[in-house]
């Protein structure tokens, strides 16, 4: 039962999906500045906004919304869009409800879905955390006419595992799982080369654990801003990040 609040290949060494207490802690203490200031989060947000501009919509749901950082960046104040967010972490949902004027619901998308339909669902950097990502995509299709999905590609590194990743994807992997859920893939592309990978990946490998999480002071914010500008030059269809846009097939039941 959900509760609503107002205001590449799987690495066999990886552990299973983390429980909600892990995400309660990370969202409350570690991930807030990362989602606001890191070059990866900012560039991903820019690509999602570009995709949203091509899809007419009056309602949008952020699936795996965390504390609402991404949704806050997607809100269009010039349009009367109905916004909502769902997340596995009850603590994150409570924080989000205090930040944004939207409907936020604690929901486990691997096992349940909302009994309402949205023009667009955004599922960004979520599926790689889920044990049963295929069922999650099926449940997303039940709620959304169109879906924008972002996931990591490339190797599953120790740093990724530490953040709760259980798999990374190839284009073929992601396309197959989206189509198996009854959706039609309109576009899928990679990004990242050369400034996310290998440059940013190398910088992270040379940094201490937790270098991308926690509080971002002036120096980290400045470095992140420079890297974000460089990420604009990642224009070729290659790299360790994927973004896909999919839609329901007319006449099909969901």
pLDDT tens-digit map of 151-200: 999 999 888 898 899 999 999 999 999 999 999 999 999 999 999 999 99
Of the candidates 174, 145, 176, 148, the residue with the CA atom closest to the CA atom of residue 252: 145
| Residue 124 forms part of a structural domain | yes
Give the model's confidence band at 11: pLDDT under 50 very low, under 70 low, under 90 confident, else very high: very low
Would you say residue 253 lies in a domain?
no
What is the per-residue pLDDT for 2?
52
Q: Is residue 63 part of a domain?
A: yes
State residue 15's pLDDT score. Answer: 56
Residue 180 neighbours by CB distance under 10 Å: 11
Any domain includes 254 = no
Residue 30: pLDDT over 90: no
Asked if residue 75 is part of any domain, the answer here is: yes
CATH code at position 239: 3.40.50.150
pLDDT of residue 13: 43
pTM more than 0.85: yes
C-alpha–C-alpha distance, residues 17 and 250, integer Å: 34
Cβ distance 132 to 181 under 8 Å? no
Mean of pLDDT over the chain: 90
Please report whether residue 42 resides in a domain: yes
Q: How far apart (Å, rounded) are the C-alpha atoms in residues 122 and 87?
A: 12
pLDDT higher than 80, residue 61: yes
Question: Percent of the chain beyond pLDDT 70?
Answer: 93
Number of structural domains in the chain: 1
For residue 44, give its domain range: 3-248
Q: How far apart are CA 102 and CA 173, in angstroms?
A: 33
pLDDT for position 146? 98
């Amino acid at each position: 039962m959900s509760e609503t609040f107002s205001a590449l290949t799987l690495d066999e060494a990886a552990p299973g999906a983390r429980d909600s207490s892990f995400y309660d802690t990370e969202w409350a203490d570690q991930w807030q500045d990362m989602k606001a200031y890191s070059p990866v989060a900012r560039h991903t947000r820019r690509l999602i906004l570009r995709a949203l501009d091509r899809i007419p919509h009056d309602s949008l749901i952020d699936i795996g919304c965390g504390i609402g950082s991404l949704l806050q960046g997607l809100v269009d104040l010039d349009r009367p869009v109905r916004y909502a967010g769902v997340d596995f972490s009850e603590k994150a949902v409570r924080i989000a409800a205090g930040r944004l004027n939207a409907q936020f619901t604690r929901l486990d998308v691997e096992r349940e879905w909302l009994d309402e339909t949205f023009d667009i669902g955004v599922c960004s950097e979520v599926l790689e955390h889920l044990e049963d990502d295929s069922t999650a995509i099926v449940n997303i299709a039940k709620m959304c006419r169109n879906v924008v999905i972002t996931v990591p590609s490339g190797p599953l590194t120790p740093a990724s595992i530490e953040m709760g990743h259980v798999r990374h994807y190839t284009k073929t992997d992601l396309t197959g799982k989206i189509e198996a859920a009854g959706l039609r893939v309109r576009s899928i592309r990679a990004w990242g080369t050369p400034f996310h990978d290998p440059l940013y990946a190398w910088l992270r490998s040379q940094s201490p654990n937790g270098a991308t999480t926690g509080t971002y002071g002036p120096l980290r914010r400045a470095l992140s801003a420079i890297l974000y500008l460089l990420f604009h030059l990642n224009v070729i269809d290659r790299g360790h990040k994927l973004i896909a846009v999919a839609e329901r097939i007319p006449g099909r039941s969901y």
